[in-house]
């Protein structure tokens, strides 16, 4: 018991002794882990969006309704449907009427009455919604069906998503790269701090070794000191993410209706991983810093 | 208790100058003995002590302490060896911000002894060294002799079988040194082996104990009831 209290008391005393340096360590861990957490969350976001999109319609073939081109006839429509179903590239086809399109739209924008007021059942075109065996084969469909009578436009829905995903992945990779560099810098800073701490207490550790304290026990207060700083920084970083991310994604979700966004759940879910990274780097850096310094 | 067989230890100084601190030293100290290690400064006394605690490892030859061959001792077992050895320095090496009692307790705390045992044992040792009434003093409030008693109390609190003292009276005046020697003698009478490095002629001559003399790292004399110099 006395031993464990000693370890904790010494660790806290060490943090207090060099408050400025401890602050720098906590800050650097906070910065690096905020970035790391952000990149993890971006990954989650990409995954969530992709999952949601997979299984959704990949290609929309909008049909003429007399606005841009003469309305499609029933015969033309049946022919188009039959040809689509016969096409080996097509996995699944279903028809969405004007009514269904309107219903979906009102569901999607349920909280934006002004948008819904602006349209009525006649506004949105009917369409064939097509799932492909291989989403890359969009070109085949477009080439083959764009010229069909009664077809107004063929849209690859994935284009919208892909742009978003590409951008998000880029941001995530950048955040991850900076986070790792920062984490390395934080590790070096911790190692240096711990070395200074060990040097400041070298008389005490010399006596401990001389009276036969176990090696791990001589080192533990310093490692715990590093771990406490690491844990504080991790907690701060997580707090920042917890306070900002759900708010930002809530606002985004209002703007971008088509995509699902991550929220509090995902921020909570990355907590263990962040703790592992933050506390892990601190423990590793302190242990390495002491390897030569406190050898028997 | 201690056995050295041709133990040699050299240090590199600069690129190719080698200082042989101990040169093929063979020596045996049995349990309960009191041994002076004498010799001028630089003759290898401290190096001899450091080999016994395994602060340093002999380059060649064997060093045995309480049945263990220190060359083969695993690193993690070194602390266990040191728990059997008390060590007293010339400059006391007390922790300045801890009281006398805390300095002595510290030695037991850090090897995981229970609080009950510590509370019982520390006053005993402080009484042995005659510092019961200084238990709550800080080191800087004590005289040199008193500080050395604290350091002996710390070395002895764990009941070591071997007490190594490296010039324990080096910083003390003769009168105070006599008190310290009486204390070490008393500790020796409890069955503890005591090895003391010194170049204090008066002390060695007055004690009439075994004397091992080093010169340039070699044992030049080993006398059962010796005095400091040949001439005396
Ligand atoms: N860690 C060391 N590094 C280099 N030289 C050392 C070291 N320890 C001792 N020596 C040298 O070994 C010789 C013996 O030193 P030491 O054992 O301290 O002698 P004493 O204690 O009798 O004064 C000296 O020449 C000293 O300079
Ligand atoms: Mg010496």
DSSP category for residue B29: E
CA distance B82 to A207: 11
Q: What is the pLDDT, as a whole number, of residue A296? A: 57
Q: How many CB atoms lie within 10 A of CB B24?
A: 15
Residue A232 has pLDDT above 50, yes or no: yes
Q: What is the pLDDT, as a whole number, of residue B231? A: 46
Confidence of residue A294 (pLDDT cuts 50, 70, 90): low
Confidence of residue A255 (pLDDT cuts 50, 70, 90): confident
Reduce the DSSP state of residue A261 to 3 states and report it: coil
Residue A5 has pLDDT above 50, yes or no: yes
CB atoms B79 and A3 under 8 Å: no
Mean pLDDT within A243-254: 89
Q: What is the pLDDT, as a whole number, of residue B46? A: 95
Q: Which atom of ligand 1 is nearest to the CA of B56?
A: 1
What are the pLDDT digits (tens) for B27-41? Answer: 999 999 999 999 999
Q: What is the pLDDT, as a whole number, of residue B160? A: 95
What are the pLDDT digits (tens) for A201-227? Answer: 888 899 999 999 998 888 888 999 999
CB atoms A211 and B107 under 8 Å: yes
CA B183 to chain CA mean position, Å: 13
Total CB pairs under 8 A between chain A and B: 62
Residue among A3, A207, A217 whose CB faces B95 most closely: A207
Mean pLDDT within B132-151: 96
Confidence of residue A196 (pLDDT cuts 50, 70, 90): confident
Residue among A2, A204, A211 whose CB faces B82 most closely: A211
**Phi/psi at B58 (5° precision):** -60, 145
Mean pLDDT within A256-280: 88
Specify the pairing of strand A90-96 against strand A151-156. unpaired
Reduce the DSSP state of residue A253 to 3 states and report it: helix
Specify the pairing of strand A127-132 against strand A59-63. antiparallel
Which residue of B110, B121, B162 is the best one to mutate when testing the A interface, meaning the one whose CB has the most A CBs within 10 A? Answer: B110
How large a percentage of chain A has pLDDT more than 90? 27
> Which residue lies with its CA nearest to atom 5 of ligand 1?
B11
Q: What is the largest CA-CA distance in chain B?
A: 54
More confident residue, B228 or A178: A178
Q: What is the pLDDT, as a whole number, of residue B81? A: 95
* Separation of CA B215 and ligand 2 centre (Å): 13
More confident residue, A117 or B149: B149
Mean pLDDT within A266-282: 94
How large a percentage of chain B has pLDDT more than 90? 84
Q: What is the pLDDT, as a whole number, of residue A257? A: 66
Q: B230 vs chain A: nearest CA distance in angstroms?
A: 35
pTM of the model: 0.74
Mean pLDDT (chain A) is: 86
CA distance A164 to A228: 39
Mean pLDDT within B215-221: 93
Q: What is the pLDDT, as a whole number, of residue B145? A: 94
Contact A259, A52 (CB under 8 A): yes
Mean pLDDT within A60-81: 87
CA distances from B194 to B63, B165, B208 (A): 17, 8, 14
Q: What is the pLDDT, as a whole number, of residue A141? A: 85
Query: Which of B4, B13, B17, B19 for mutating ligand 1's site (highest number of atoms within 8 Å of CB)?
Result: B19
Mean pLDDT (chain B) is: 92
Q: What is the pLDDT, as a whole number, of residue A216? A: 87
Q: What is the pLDDT, as a whole number, of residue A270? A: 94
Q: How many CB atoms lie within 10 A of CB A181?
A: 12
Which residue of A14, A202, A207, A222 is the best one to mutate when testing the B interface, meaning the one whose CB has the most B CBs within 10 A? Answer: A207
Specify the pairing of strand B85-88 against strand B193-198. unpaired
Residue A48 has pLDDT above 90, yes or no: no
Q: Is the ipTM of this complex over 0.95?
A: no
* Separation of CA B20 and ligand 2 centre (Å): 14
Residue A81 has pLDDT above 60, yes or no: yes
- Residue in chain B closest to A204 (alpha carbons) equals B95
What are the pLDDT digits (tens) for B83-132? Answer: 999 999 999 999 999 999 999 999 999 898 988 999 999 999 999 999 99
Contact B106, A6 (CB under 8 A): no
Q: What is the pLDDT, as a whole number, of residue A54? A: 60
Residue among A1, A211, A214 whose CB faces B115 most closely: A1
More confident residue, B170 or A258: B170
Confidence of residue B158 (pLDDT cuts 50, 70, 90): very high
Mean pLDDT within A12-17: 86
Task: Catalogue the long-range contacts made by A11-17 (C-beta closer than 8 Å, 24 or more residues apart).
Answer: A11/A221, A11/A222, A11/A224, A11/A225, A11/A228, A12/A225, A12/A228, A14/A197, A14/A200, A14/A201, A14/A221, A14/A222, A14/A225, A15/A225, A15/A228, A15/A229, A17/A197, A17/A200
What are the pLDDT digits (tens) for B180-209? Answer: 999 999 999 999 999 999 988 889 988 889
Q: What is the pLDDT, as a whole number, of residue B232? A: 42
* Separation of CA A125 and ligand 2 centre (Å): 98
- Which range is least confidently modeled, A187-191, B220-224, B227-231? B227-231
Contact A62, A157 (CB under 8 A): no
CA distance B8 to B216: 12
CA distance A99 to A66: 16
Contact B73, B50 (CB under 8 A): no
Residue A127 has pLDDT above 50, yes or no: yes
Burial (CB < 10 A; 0-12, 13-18, 19+), residue A75, is exposed
CA distance A119 to A168: 32
Query: Which of B7, B11, B25, B199 for mutating ligand 1's site (highest number of atoms within 8 Å of CB)?
Result: B11
CA distance A154 to A285: 57
Mean pLDDT within A44-58: 72
Q: What is the pLDDT, as a whole number, of residue A57? A: 58
Which residue of A1, A205, A206, A210 is the best one to mutate when testing the B interface, meaning the one whose CB has the most B CBs within 10 A? Answer: A210
């Amino acid at each position: 018991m006395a031993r464990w209290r000693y370890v904790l008391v010494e660790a806290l005393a060490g943090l207090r002794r060099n408050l400025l340096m401890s602050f720098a360590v906590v800050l650097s861990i906070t910065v690096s882990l905020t970035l790391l957490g952000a990149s993890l969350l971006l990954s989650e976001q990409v995954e969530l969006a992709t999952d949601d999109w997979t299984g959704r319609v990949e290609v929309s073939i909008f049909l003429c309704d007399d606005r841009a081109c003469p309305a499609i006839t029933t015969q033309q429509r049946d022919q188009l449907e039959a040809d689509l179903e016969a096409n080996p590239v097509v996995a699944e086809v279903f028809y969405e009427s004007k009514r269904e399109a309107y219903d979906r739209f009102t569901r999607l924008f349920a909280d934006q009455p002004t948008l819904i007021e602006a349209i009525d059942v006649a506004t949105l075109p009917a369409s064939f919604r097509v799932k492909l065996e291989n989403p890359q084969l969009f070109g085949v469909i477009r080439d083959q069906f764009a010229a069909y009578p009664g077809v107004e436009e063929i849209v690859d829905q994935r284009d919208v998503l892909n742009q978003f995903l590409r951008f998000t992945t880029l941001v995530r990779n950048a955040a991850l790269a900076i986070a790792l560099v920062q984490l390395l810098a934080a590790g070096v800073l911790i190692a240096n701090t711990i070395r200074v701490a060990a040097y400041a207490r070298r008389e005490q550790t010399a006596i401990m070794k001389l009276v036969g304290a176990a090696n791990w026990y001589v080192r533990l207060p310093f490692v715990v000191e590093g771990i406490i700083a690491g844990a504080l920084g991790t907690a701060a970083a997580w707090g920042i993410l917890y306070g900002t991310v759900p708010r930002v994604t809530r606002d985004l979700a209002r703007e971008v209706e088509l995509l699902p966004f991550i929220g509090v759940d995902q921020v909570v879910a990355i907590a263990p991983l962040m703790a592992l990274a933050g506390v892990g780097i601190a423990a590793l850096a302190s242990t390495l810093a002491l390897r030569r310094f406190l050898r028997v | 208790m201690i056995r050295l067989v041709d133990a040699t230890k050299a240090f590199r100084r600069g690129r190719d100058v080698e200082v042989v601190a101990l040169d093929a030293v063979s020596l045996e100290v049995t349990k309960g003995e009191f041994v002076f290690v004498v010799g001028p400064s630089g003759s290898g006394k401290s190096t001899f002590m450091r080999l016994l605690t395994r602060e340093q490892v002999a380059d060649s030859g064997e060093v045995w302490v309480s049945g263990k061959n220190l060359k083969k001792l695993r690193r993690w077992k070194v602390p266990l060896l040191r728990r059997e050895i008390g060590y007293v320095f010339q400059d006391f090496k007390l922790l300045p911000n801890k009281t006398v009692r805390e300095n002595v307790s510290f030695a037991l705390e850090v090897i995981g002894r229970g609080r009950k045992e510590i509370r019982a044992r520390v006053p005993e040792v402080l009484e042995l060294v005659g510092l019961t009434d200084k238990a709550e003093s800080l080191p800087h409030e004590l005289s040199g002799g008193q500080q050395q008693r604290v350091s002996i109390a710390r070395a002895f609190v764990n009941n070591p079988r071997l007490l190594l003292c490296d010039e324990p009276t080096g910083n003390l005046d003769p009168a105070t040194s006599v008190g310290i020697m009486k204390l070490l003698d008393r500790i020796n009478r409890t069955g503890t082996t005591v090895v003391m490095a010194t170049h204090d002629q008066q002390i060695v001559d007055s004690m009439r104990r075994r004397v091992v003399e080093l010169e340039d790292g070699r044992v030049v004399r080993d006398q059962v009831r010796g005095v400091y110099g040949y001439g005396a």
